[in-house]
Chains A and B, each alone.
Chain A
Amino acid sequence: MSKGKKESQFLLDRRTFLKFAGVGIAGATLLGSFPFESFTLDEAMAAAAKAGETVVPTFCAMCGPAANCGVYAFTKNGRFSKVAGMKESPVNAGAVCPKGQAAPQWVYSPDRLKYPMKRVGKKGEGKFQQITWDEAIGIIADTLKQQKQKYGPESLGMLSPARRTYSDYLFRFLIAHGSPNYGHSGICAMQMGFTFHYTVGDWPRAVDYANSDLVLVWGKQPIYSGPAQDGVRAYVNAKARGAKIIAIKPTMEPDVGLADEWMPIRPGTDAALALAMLHVVVNENLIDKAFVEQWCYGYDQLKEHVQKYPPPWAEKITGIPANRIAEVARLFATTKRAGIELGNGVEHVPSSNDAIRAVAILIAITGHLDRPGGNVFGAASKMPKPNTVHLTERYTQEWVDKLVYPEFPKPFQPALEGTSSAYYGLFDSVLTEKPYPMRTIIAPGTQALASTRGSKRVVEALKKLEFYVVVDVARTADMPYADVVIPVATPYEIDHPFEVRGNWIMARNRVIEPLADNKSIFEFLCDLGVKMGYGADFWGGSMNESMNDQLKPLGMTIDELRKHPTGIKYEMIPRKYENYETVFKRKSPRISKAPFLPQGKVAIYNTSFKEAGYNPLPQWKEPPESITGTPELTKKYPLILSDYHTSSVYTASWQRNVPFLREIVPYPTVHIHPDTASARGIKDGDWVRVESPHGWIKVKAQLYPGTRPDTVMVLHGWWQGCKELGFEDYPLFDGGANVNIMYNVDPQKAFDPVVTAMSSQTLVQISKA
């Protein structure tokens, strides 16, 4: 649709809006009871019986992490046909998002892998030969055994998917084998988890929405990840209750549409904004004095330190007017019940650790930590904790010392999830051979060429890597470089594992038999474990045994759990606030088990970081390319580029092959302000060339009124075609739509020195293609 119309047409009259908003329920009779009862188990079974179908209660599998929506999966004549939300699930309460609704098309996609394969052509050529599971497991086991002998077990790296229930099984395999090199992405959640823990002793990521008067939603998309989940209901309900929501991010997405105010910030400058807010709060003495005195360490040093960061300084960097920065800082500090929802946006910058701790300090010193309406520590239920499959007790200092490219510095390993190297770092080691190269990399449910930045370097590593194993349900971007391909079953085709979310536990049930020669990723790891001689650590290959082991603290077996088709909900323990005494003493998971907070207080001045050789106070670091950091580049590349990691219809880099979803977002686009576009003669829907100092992509212009005029945004993860709709794959490198090629990967500039976060900001020029 053309967007070049006059301004008056953008200004839809306000009365229409209000009238529209008001119309609805008054005078009308709702159908059925209110709110609408969606499917309970009985209703789902009745509906299925009426339609000659069967119904299976299980979990949705279409996003993640925390893909724990309960669904009723319907089958007709043995074919998975459709999905309804499970009313009994406390997560989604009967709702399902578009990804979940489209699940059958994902399961039956022509892109599904049907049998194990081995490479017969050159790396990258994509020529494969069908083999049996036994052969595939045999080839992998033989290779790993030989490499273990020759190079040591640490030469195996395992890439991390989004956090999954199988993540701990991946760790388990690595630990049984002897490698610390779990390759975590360095852009998702663990950076926040790490920095928050070493600043305030826990990760109070949840805002107490039900009691909050003000929420700053910062660098976060609170809707697209888990659109049918409780977080979204909390957001909408808080709004309806009259809480004020201020969104801080470069573009106006639907959540911002629902918010009260929008602070359009330049991508990658969150640390500068947070430091300037600290400047205001400190200089205007808007702190919670009693809390700071009793529970914070190093406030005086902070006071002196932030003098370098006044709002006018931050205005130049962030593009947010200085008075606006001061206003929001004051509003946050003086609103008693206020919290900050910080998102993954701050994990895609070389100033990640500093942005996160500056925000954590801001929350703490203004008295919003673990208080009503603020950022609260996690709530607990009466459910006993299932045993973990992660072999945590085997970690040693020698183990940590073997890390090839630590995601977090060695003194802080194992970190929250276990020991980890940076995802990108595993590939980097193949090329640099420093301190030693990975010899085998296994890619379970992740595609490096579409997921991590620096694809041009990753592909060189894939060409050089001795052995690459792709383990996935469908074709991936890097599959042509695989030596062995393992075709796993979707979660709709298997009956394990059980899942836990909050106070709810439920068994997964099989909806359909595996489509072809598929097994689950769990079975793959068990089979490989047994073949490697690690059978004692892999329950002799039995997933039922594994689940029974884990369920012991709950006093039940998986068969007993299965007798509760919609799972079991345990009672929640009522929330208490101000748990400083216990939380601030908490021990860290690193080898020394030293507490996260050495002084038992909020680490404003961070002695843990100082001892490890890092700055004790948060600093500002420019992205590798930016308007204020590299002004010399702005003549050729005047616009800032960054990317979204998830969208309304796609989870990260998958699902472009699902027709019902692809119809809604058919093309890769660049969100560009209408004025920025018209200055370049670009119209809505034009194919454009977006060029950075590192590469170029070809995408369609989407004129997007809710974008900063100096910033353009692209959705990450584009390469896959959709056969049913006639869409071909896009190239992975120049001229394709893979935004990962656009960024700087210079080790000195593009990475956070502490948490290895990678930059997703650069400068670009845009022209008609």
Chain B
Amino acid sequence: MSIEYAFSFSKEKCTQCYGCEVACKSWRDGELGVSWRRVYKIWTGRYPEVKLASASVSCMHCVDPVCVKICPVQAIQKRPEDGIVVGDKSKCIGCKSCEKECPFGAPQFGAEGKMQKCDLCLSQVDLGKDPPPCVETCPTKALQVVKMETKEKKAIEQNIQKLIGSAANTR
């Protein structure tokens, strides 16, 4: 077991304001049509006993990333030192295998046809010190970046996967 960076998310605090989604686009010069982070509405139950919750989801930097395994040209790597999953545009051939396999909808393909996704703002902020803009802008601190054990991180991955895999999710 080792320690990795992870997003933690508290649905009790998320007001579904979409601040994280737009902060990501604004701070990383997001391309139109591409969203590295997305906020979902999660419906459960039936009227009048219906419930509404939220999920803010980007690349989960999975403990066992399927994108890394599937990529035919090894353009996606998981950094051993902190678990962050990063892509290498110069190697990417745009086959979209990663997009098909990722349960979180993380890999995206814009106009240039190369994989792009959340890199935890590795290139932008000193992660040891500052959070990425999606976390920083969150009015209720529902979204956090934490260091955690891989076992625990895996549990988050599984739960988010179940949530957004439900047929009732909407934007």
Contact = CB atoms under 8 A, between A and B. Distances in A.
B167 interface: yes
Contacts of A253: 52
A607 B14 CA distance: 46
A3 B144 contact: no
Interface in A132-191: none
Interface in B1-26: 3, 5-6, 8-19, 21-23, 25-26
Contacts of A29: 3, 146-148
A23 B52 CA distance: 19
B137 A648 contact: no
Contacts of B25: 101, 660
A255 interface: yes
Interface string B141-171: 1001111110010011001101100111111
Nearest to B18: A98
Given A9-B168, A10-B44, A262-B48, A32 B18 contact: no
Contact of A264 (B48, B130, B137, B155): B48
A94 interface: yes
B97 interface: no
B104 interface: no
Interface stretch (A12-20, A266-274, A358-366, A374-382): A12-20
A30 B148 CA distance: 9
B167 A2 contact: yes
Contact of A254 (B15, B35, B131, B148): B15
- Contact count band on A: 35 or more
Interface string B117-153: 0000000000111110101111111001111110010
Contacts of A17: 11, 44, 53, 163
A677 to B, nearest CB: 13
A30 B139 contact: no
A664 to B, nearest CB: 6
Contact of B15 (A36, A223, A706, A707): A223
Contacts of A28: 6, 8, 146-149, 152
A485 to B, nearest CB: 29
Interface in A107-124: none
Contacts of A664: 18, 21-22, 39, 171
A536 interface: no
**Which of A649, A663, A708 has the most chain B CB atoms inside 10 A of its CB?**
A663
Contacts of B137: 38, 84-85, 95-97, 101, 228
Contacts of B6: 28
B15 A227 contact: yes
Nearest to A708: B47
Given A673-B47, A706-B47, A648 B18 contact: yes
Contacts of B35: 663
Contacts of A229: 139
Given A97-B19, A101-B23, A227 B139 contact: yes
A31 B163 contact: no
B22 A31 contact: no
10 contacts: A3-B168, A11-B44, A23-B152, A28-B152, A31-B5, A96-B137, A233-B140, A254-B41, A255-B15, A663-B32
Interface of A: 1-3, 5, 7, 9-12, 16-17, 19-21, 23-32, 35-36, 38-39, 82-85, 92, 94-98, 100-102, 104, 223-224, 227-229, 232-233, 235-236, 239-240, 252-258, 262, 264, 648-649, 659-661, 663-664, 673, 684, 702, 705-709, 724-725
6 nearest A-B pairs in the assembled complex, by CB-CB distance: A257-B52, A28-B148, A254-B16, A98-B22, A5-B167, A95-B139
